[in-house]
Amino acid sequence: MTGFTRLCSLADLPENLRGACVAIGNFDGLHRGHQSIVAALRARAEAADVPALMLTFEPHPRDVFAPAPFMFRLTQGDAKARLAQAMGLDGIIILPFDKAFSQNEAEVFVETMLVEQLGVRSVIVGADFHFGRQRRGTPAFLRAAGERLGFDVEILDLMDESDEPISSSRIRAALSEGAVTAANRLLGYHWFFEGCVVKGDQRGRELGFPTANTMTPAGFQLAQGVYAVRARLGDRLLDGVAAYGKPMFDNQLPPFETHLFDFDEDIYGQTLAVALVGHIRGQEVFSGLDELMAAMDRDASKARDLLANATPVSPVDARLGFFA
């Protein structure tokens, strides 16, 4: 995975990335359905001996038009870039999306961005992809434009799992119910997120379980409960047990609290990436601190058992760096 390029503007496109095969979409989660698009993209690019690029957008268009951020995002821009690199792409272009951008006519998007600036050789999109003002740019529109302007267009259907399409909304629903194993199976990797470690209320330290607290983004809808997690701090991998939500205390906008096993360092201000390995239990209210501490001991023991047997679910998962 050498030579991966991340861009936020087409004006910065290196000459060696012009003429690429390009997959276009929001790709929230980059799940197995999206990965089928990436696989087709790589095969086409390798056959033509040209780069393979992903073109996506941040923030998610639905958040731009909502009165406030509301969508439970599976992958923010940094995570999308990490996944695109793990999938063997040559680069990712994350274009800033706002209301002004949304008013670009579909013809402008194709003729200016795809043809003039990217010089695309071919484009791959999912069957549900739309673009341009009033979503006039349909897959059929894109195919007709490609025939007129000299680039190929491939349109792929969604992948199915248990007679249902694999979709970002289905994965969000699984995570909001604490169904980590099901979500990871649909994703094709252990779901992860990252954040800056901030100072909390120190209650975990007082109970003998110091935690690394990361604030959660707007729209975060992971089921409140306790999880077995694998954390990445720089180049180090650390196992832990994490809690989201505080039913016995103030439960407003709770941070994600990770107790890292056999670890006692000051890491405030550092970025911690956390992958969910398993769901241990939902949130419970205990009669007192003694009962709470006993439950925390049981949770830690279960987490260690789950983590001892954890393995990557795919080559992409292995390349994400949460497994030695």
Q: Catalytic residue, from 15, 177, 257, 265: name it.
A: 257
Q: Is the dihedral of CA 114, 115, 121, 124 positive or negative?
A: positive
Structure tokens at 297: 């001991």
| 177 given a catalytic annotation | no
Rounded CA separation 107/109 (Å): 5
Enclosing H/E stretch for 4? none
Tokens 């941070």 sit on residue:
255
Rounded CA separation 42/88 (Å): 8
Q: Is the dihedral of CA 143, 148, 149, 150 positive or negative?
A: positive
Rounded CA separation 104/90 (Å): 27
Structure tokens at 64: 């731009």
Beta strands (DSSP E) in 225-266 are 225-233, 236-244, 256-260
5-7/91-96 β-pairing: parallel
CB-based contacts of 186: which residues, under 8 Å, 6+ apart?
Answer: 31, 32, 161, 166, 170, 171, 174
Q: Which residues are catalytic?
A: 257
